[in-house]
Structure 1
Amino acid sequence: MIRTVIFDMDGVLVDTEPLHHDAFFRHFAELGINMTAEEYATFLGSSTRNVYQQLKQEFDLREDVEVLVGRKREHFGKAFDESTELELLPGARELVEDLHRAGVPLQLASSASKETIARVFRRFALYPFFQNLVSGEDFPKSKPDPAIFLHAAELAGVEPAQCLVIEDSANGVAAAKAAGMYCIGYRSEHSEGQDLHRADRVVTHLGQLDAAAIQGIAG
């Protein structure tokens, strides 16, 4: 039986990916990095710190990783605060509220920084619905490493086999399965090109999920 649901944030609850994309590529231009769309796609689901750790080695960047991360976050913060179009993804609030009403504890396990998570949760008033918020910046490795999901399960006091993860990236799905959790892949227009074949189930709209169906899954 599923005892808790662990949400990813970017691409599941809200689509901040265009803002991240813009922030990264503005910074790449400053650094003189010619980034292909294919290489950038491999970073989806990784923390910003891990992305810059890779880039520092690959491009022999002089700046410290923390300086690089800080500059990218400046770009992102400006774009986030100025955006008038950013909304929760279709069906996200309804699913969160339905699970909350049913008494299902909710966890967040996102590769986003604590600062970005706080921006999203303040803007959309999501704090009352979630038991724990886990940021990828606290882990040395990003998804597909399962550590972030295992930590979320530990905080919830639930065995991994009784956790259900909702993810939109190939790295996220791989991490959930490596953690021994049931995983629903969310294939939306924002996750185009992501290989979700390892998910136990794939949906194209969060409206395809509800508390009753999730609670009925054998964990």
Structure 2
Amino acid sequence: MIQTVIFDMDGVIVDTEPVHRYAYFKHFEELNIPVTDAMFTTFTGNSTRNVFQNLKEIFNLEQDVEDLIKRKRTIFNDAFDSKEDLELLEGVEKLIKDLHENGIQLILASSASKVTIERVFRRFKLHPYFTHLVSGEDFPKSKPHPAIFEHAASLSIAPKECCIVIEDSTNGIKASTAAGIFCVGYNSIHSKSQDLSEANVIVNNFNELNFDKVKNLDSKLRSN
């Protein structure tokens, strides 16, 4: 039986991607580097540190990675605090509460920084439902590397075989697959540029999931 659900955050619990995108491109403009939409899409699911490590090599940036990260996060935090219409994605709060009330352990495994995770969880009062919050900034390699999900699974109350991951990005799904964890791909309006084909199951709305349906994924786990 499924005992632990590992959630991604951006694009799964809350859509902060437009805020991140705004912060990144404002910073790119300041740096005068021509990052295309296509290039930016390949960074989805990466930590801020990994994004700037890559960009530093691509564009031969003189700034230290830590300084680049600090500036981008300043822009993001200012925009986040002023965005009054930021809401949880449709159906996810109901799903989180349903799973929690039925004894499913919830773990967050997000590429976002600890500061951003804390901002989201404090704003939407999500702390009571999750036993662990895992940030990508603690790992040298971002998704699609499996390290973050391997660590999240190690925090589970059950074996990895009794865990599932909910992801909306190509890199996140690849990371879950590489970690050997059953993956539910969330095909939201915010993930249209992402390839979810490697997910074990794809849902288009969180109303398609509840405790009973998640519990029954156990049979699909055994058949994979």
Separation in structure 2 between the aligned mates of residue 135 and residue 146 of structure 1, nearest angstrom: 13
Question: How far 1:25 moved relative to its partner?
Answer: 0.2
* 1:172 aligned residue: 172
Corresponding letter in the other structure for 1:124: F
Question: How far 1:158 moved relative to its partner?
Answer: 2.9
Matches within 5 A, 1:9-88: 9-88=9-88
Matches within 5 A, 1:1-219: 1-218=1-218, 219=221
Separation in structure 1 between the aligned mates of residue 24 and residue 102 of structure 2, nearest angstrom: 39
Which secondary structure does the structure 2 equivalent of 1:156 belong to? Answer: coil
Question: How far 1:45 moved relative to its partner?
Answer: 0.3
Answer with 10-19 or 155-164: which moved more.
155-164
Question: How far 1:2 moved relative to its partner?
Answer: 1.4
Q: What is the CA deviation profile of residues 83-125 of structure 1, one whole-angstrom value per residue up to 9, with x for unaligned ones?
A: 0110000001000000001000000000000000000000000
> What TM-score results when the alignment is normalised by the length of structure 1?
0.98
RMSD over equivalenced CA pairs, Å: 0.7
Separation in structure 2 between the aligned mates of residue 85 and residue 35 of structure 1, nearest angstrom: 28
Separation in structure 2 between the aligned mates of residue 180 and residue 122 of structure 1, nearest angstrom: 31
Separation in structure 2 between the aligned mates of residue 159 and residue 37 of structure 1, nearest angstrom: 39
Which secondary structure does the structure 1 equivalent of 2:217 belong to? Answer: coil
Task: Give aligned-pair identity as a percent.
Answer: 56
Corresponding letter in the other structure for 1:19: V
Question: How far 1:35 moved relative to its partner?
Answer: 1.1
Question: How far 1:3 moved relative to its partner?
Answer: 1.5
> What TM-score results when the alignment is normalised by the length of structure 2?
0.96
| Structure 1 segments (4+ residues) deviating >4 Å | none
- Provide structure 1 residue ranges, at least 5 long, that are not aligned to the other structure: none
- Provide structure 2 residue ranges, at least 5 long, that are not aligned to the other structure: none
Question: How far 1:192 moved relative to its partner?
Answer: 1.1
Count of residues paired in the alignment: 219
Question: How far 1:160 moved relative to its partner?
Answer: 2.0
